[in-house]
Structure 1
């Protein structure tokens, strides 16, 4: 099968990582290309047999969009792909316009929750353009219920795990992790308030990530004397997962939550706010709490650290559920849809 993935960039992001993971796996038995619209080198490693396409970049925003559409249309007609897969809404709009009237099949994908903050014009464009796609993939049942009103061929497609080998049964410390971008959507200040509530607990609180809220969070941590260790972005997050007993997600919006899958592979108990993504991933193998409820989150962390029987039961269930997120299983589902 000849497959083209289209994405804005291949920098350090969740959707970008999903694109590369799927492309690498599918390229073993298929002809795979990726078209991206920036000049930066990919952050994630691509298999050598994947063709990477970088169109010309124009200074004028208007000319840039027009050229992207015309170049993409010409490429698809010339190369005769069996299927095109587009990632994220702005790219979805561009690809749909480029493929109007073509016979090549198009799958568009959403990688954020439908109710996440967006510019005012995004929602009307989705209702206008998304019906033209042959299929639309979303990350959760909540998103499915919304998007199937726009495109009847909407299906749930979970993100694959990015961990090659599970590290179950390793020695653990009383370490509580936050891993993610330091932006308002992730609500990272809640993690600092939780750490402040649990200062008397014999535990270490570590925040991994960077973003626009970094200075504000450093100031909050210092003013409360919360004791959170803020280490910024790290290349090897797995070394922290191996040590941690708990991963915390405090997000206000989360389409899926890749860290909640990664943590499963390292025997970290997941405690998360009730985002659509977390509710899709966590069942009997983690703890869901109300949005911005510092007291509830604090009590959940305290319970997991003090009750090893409860912690082991959650981990046992997580190990049973992990396989459904494997790259092989997710890629198999993608192939079924493509065919």
Structure 2
């Protein structure tokens, strides 16, 4: 008989003794002692722990023996809940309990969902982030410092070189030299001279960046064949190139799949992307059909299923 069916038919008593034994053997886990109900008996009312567990279990099914830990806490409220739950699941798996196959919770289920969805793209995302970060730093470091200094001179033509020197201009650096040369050429082409201000200075700087970067780094031509430089130029700028790389990469990837900055951050952290994401952002973005299997309808509680590899009648008999 399936556990969910058993509980539904015997709503007066839900006993998960194994949960008591397991948690008692790991007292430092979770800090959940005041959230977890190990058993309940007597008359059942709609708000009782047994009724809450039953309602959740009606939406999921297990073939082999399983035990249920009911956590009386909203799993959407804060990320620490996710971290503590995942730590508990890891601890349970490490106890060497006979026939224990796995543990699942809304957090581990969502982590698995993310890993399945992202698949091999995790490596690509991490590479793309690194390429963008490197290109953006190279592309904007000097122009950003120059533009800040130039603004204090009202963007005048005759202050271009002085602003460049204030920004640490190094004429032996091909990119910096090409950038200043192109900016001077553009201003001259627009008949700007002396103390006249350059019209649309930001546009002039961005145009100089495009030409100077392609000239100085032909292997990273700003275009579709060099996504790192393309993202840097089209999705970043002088003021956000160092702190918005994840946002830029996600924006670029969104034309292929629904990427988010959070997903990019979880990917570049290394290791298990899904676990990283859930530890950092909890159940943010989790599909409802997935969380419904573990979370009560009013979000006041969730379950952790402890699943064994054999039916209950065979557990411990071998």
TM class by smaller structure? under 0.3
TM-score normalised by L of structure 1: 0.19
TM-score normalised by L of structure 2: 0.20
- Which structure's residues are more often helix, by fraction? 2
- Which structure's residues are more often strand, by fraction? 1
Higher relative CO (CA 8 A, sep ≥ 6), structure 1 or 2?
2
Name the larger-Rg structure: 2
